[in-house]
Amino acid sequence: MQILITGANRGIGAALDSVLTARGDTVLGTARSHPEYLPLEVTDPASHQALAERIEGQPIDALVCNAGVYLDKGQNLADGYPAQMWADSFAVNVTGVFLAVQSLLPNLQLSKAPRIAIISSQMASHTRAPGGSYIYRASKAAALNLGRNLATDLAPLGIAVGIYHPGWVQTDMGGGTAEITPEEAARGLVDRIDGLNLETTGCFETWDGRAHPY
């Protein structure tokens, strides 16, 4: 398969790149600024357009919308969560996902079994409300909602969409005390992507294949 991963230069994205490349897939990874990856600023429509033009005519079998930020960790309700932090977070975690799908739709349509994997979080679920991290939770919930609606609209085009909680992962975002390594998360997510099809489109699942409450 040929797979495009946004935010492939570190964390889960880098682990996905490694796992997929090792098994023989062709990986097109993106990063904001990295010599080994295709340039993409996910918040910038012009950057998405430039990427689309660069890979025009190439089929994408799986688009993995992985790039994300968690800017409000440790913010205080009394005087934190500034408005610009909301805007910046949603620009990456939600708008960036939509722009990637929109700009690369022609490439996905060149595949025989196209699929889109959106990396969300269990923090997107309305069944989990322990408080705090309002911006991250809201943005990942929006990404979940976006994925569910894309699944409906893209099904007639034969494109399946899955939304996934990658686990609590030992990355810069997850911290060193997290439960699983990026490699464990990546291997599980690869299994989820492999199994994604029109019968399972719109699913919200954990990295290890369990259905997650919306």
Rounded Cα distance between 33 and 42, Å, is 12
DSSP readout, the chain? -EEEETTTTSHHHHHHHHHHHHTT-EEEEEESS-TTSEE--TT-HHHHHHHHHHTTT---SEEEE-----TTTT--TTT---HHHHHHHHIIIIIHHHHHHHHHHHHHTTSSS-EEEEE--GGG-TT---S--HHHHHHHHHHHHHHHHHHHHHGGGT-EEEEEE--SBSSTTT-TT-SB-HHHHHHHHHHHHHH--TTTTTEEEETTS-B---
Active-site residue flag, 136: yes
CA distance 53 to 77: 43
N-terminal to C-terminal alpha carbon distance within the chain: 30
From the list 70, 136, 164, 214, the catalytic residue is: 136
How many other C-beta atoms lie within 10 A of the C-beta of residue 76? 9
Query: Known catalytic residues?
Result: 136
